[in-house]
Amino acid sequence: MPDPLEQLTRDLAEARDTITALRGHLASSRERVGQLMGTTDEERKISCNALSVYGVSEQLQRGMEECCELGVAISHYLRGREDSVPKLAEEIADVELVCVSLRQLVGGSRVDAIKATKWERLRERVAEMLKHRAH
């Protein structure tokens, strides 16, 4: 019959190894999510700090402002304004930055689930359009 203390020691060592492996998987998963979002852990940390420092209301207000500025930049691009491409790129960057904070506010996994559905719907629509073009 095995010594209960030895068995407990083995079980604890196994649990510690499992926890270590899971931490590694979690860190790897976080990094993959960041790569998919185009953000790093450091950028998400800065974004979280911005929410803390400026407050939710200010970040929501900033989100509205940045989206409006992007709309203006798109309008200028569509009208063929000479300096529109660099300004459009700048406004896209501003919106993406504020969206990182807003994701944290509403929950990134919630946003990811909705995005997955929307990507699938877009994929289906594009496939249908391409099929009609081929005929």
Token look-up 């079980």 returns 11
Report residue 97 as tokens. 């930055």
The pLDDT, as a whole number, for residue 33 is: 52
The pLDDT, as a whole number, for residue 121 is: 97
Report residue 107 as tokens. 């929950």
CA distance 125 to 119: 10
Q: The pTM is what?
A: 0.68
CATH 2.40.160 for the 39-134 domain, yes or no: no
The mean pLDDT of the chain is: 89
Largest CA distance in the chain: 84
Report residue 42 as tokens. 């450091």
* Band (77; pLDDT cuts 50, 70, 90): very high
Report residue 56 as tokens. 């939710």
Q: Among 6-20, 29-43, 67-81, which range has the highest average pLDDT?
A: 67-81
Tally Cβ neighbours within 10 Å of residue 80: 7
